[in-house]
Amino acid sequence: MSIDLHTHSTVSDGTQSPSQVIASAAAAGLDVVALTDHDSVAGWTEAADAAHAHGITLVRGAELSVVYDGMSVHLLAYLFDPNDEELAHQMRQVRQARLTRGEQMAQRISRDYPLTWEDVLNEAGDAATVGRPHIADALVTAGVVNSRDEAFASLLMPHSKYYVPHYSISARDAVTLVRRAGGVPVIAHPGADTRGRVLDYASMKELVKLGLAGLEVDHRDHSADTRARLGEWAKQLNILATGSSDYHGAGKENRLGENTTPQPVFDAIVAQSSGVELL
């Protein structure tokens, strides 16, 4: 069974609609796919209809923007109840903060480059979560950079003069909230140190005590050594080790199914959940 537990659609920073992500997953030979847009569940219904049509199992989820002692962390949340009041409130706060931050960054960039906030919104379309990838796309369209990756490596990096931070949920609170909502929390690309600082073993141990279920070990941003280290940490902490593509359509080079999750690990995620069912 081929299982990919990390994808994005146009609801956040992917380039395909939720139904197109599901269709692409089926065409890639996946049996199970998770839709995990940033801080939003707005794509769940469309993805569910497409999953039924294509005969593929859908894991409903999200990738939450969280912070641990000032460090940006992404937390994959699977099969949680979208109607949980506190978790839904926190996700709305993050989406609004991303929107405000995006406009502020666009204004700063516009002082030096041909970019407007309207350009960014045009790239975002109907996205529920507007973020730096849409600014990057607008910069590509304007001819300022050649790709999203180039934009993130220069104008949009955290140390850039154009960068503006945004509100994120405390990682400690996020793990607790996901569990309370019947979901299963897994840290996304925990060893991707080219993006910035990453959690150490002691930090992960603390989050495990709060309910952290696993680490996304197999990810294209992890070297072989990093995968080995994270896999060993998962064993020591008695938590799950997943693998995923982090697919964004044409937004990134990541391909569906390039990293996958073993079925026993997937079964354990499902067994731990009580928020929503598989579709």
Q: How many CB atoms lie within 10 A of CB 112?
A: 11
Radius of gyration of the chain (CA): 18
Ranges of beta strands (E only) in the chain are 3-4, 32-35, 57-68, 71-78, 169-170, 184-187, 214-218, 240-243
Residue 127 is predicted with a pLDDT of: 86
Measured distance CA(149)–CA(171) in Å, rounded: 26
Cα 114 off chain centre by: 29
Q: pLDDT tens digits, the chain, 279 residues: what are they?
A: 999 999 999 999 999 999 999 999 999 999 999 999 999 999 999 999 999 999 999 999 999 999 999 999 999 999 999 999 999 999 999 999 999 999 999 999 999 999 999 999 999 998 888 999 999 999 999 999 999 999 999 999 988 999 999 999 999 999 999 999 999 999 999 999 877 789 999 999 999 999 999 999 999 999 999 999 999 999 999 999 999 999 999 878 899 999 999 999 999 999 999 999 999
Q: Is the Cα dihedral 274, 175, 204, 261 positive or negative?
A: positive
| DSSP-based three-state secondary structure for 152 | helix
Segments in 158-210 forming alpha helices (H): 171-180, 201-210
What's the N-to-C CA distance of the chain in angstroms? 16
pLDDT given for residue 142 in this prediction: 96
Q: Report the Cα 109 to chain-centroid distance in Å.
A: 25
Question: At the fourth CATH level, which superfamily is domain 3-91+167-272?
Answer: Metal-dependent hydrolases (3.20.20.140)
Fold of 100-153: DNA polymerase; domain 1 (1.10.150)
Distance CA 120, CA 141 (A): 10
Burial 183-197 (b: 16+ CB within 10 A, else e): bbbbbbbbbbeeeee
Domain spans, the chain = 3-91+167-272, 100-153
Specify the pLDDT at position 126: 86
Our CA dihedral for 251, 256, 258, 263, rounded to 10 degrees, sits at 140
* Cβ-based neighbours of 56, under 8 Å, separated by 6 or more: 22, 25, 26, 30, 31, 32, 33
For tokens 């995990």, name the residue. 36
The residues pairing with 65 across neighbouring beta strands, listed in sequence order, are 74
Please return the burial class of 120, using the count of CB atoms within 10 Å of its CB with bins 0-12, 13-18 and 19+.
Answer: buried
Cα 35 from Cα 17, distance rounded (Å)? 11
For residue 258, count CB atoms less than 10 angstroms from its CB and return exposed for 0-12, middle for 13-18, buried for 19 or more: middle
pTM of the model: 0.94
**How does strand 71-78 pair with strand 184-187?**
antiparallel
- Tell me, what's the pLDDT at 193? 86
Token pair 């997937």 in the structure block, residue: 266
Q: Which residues pair with 61 in a beta bridge?
A: 78
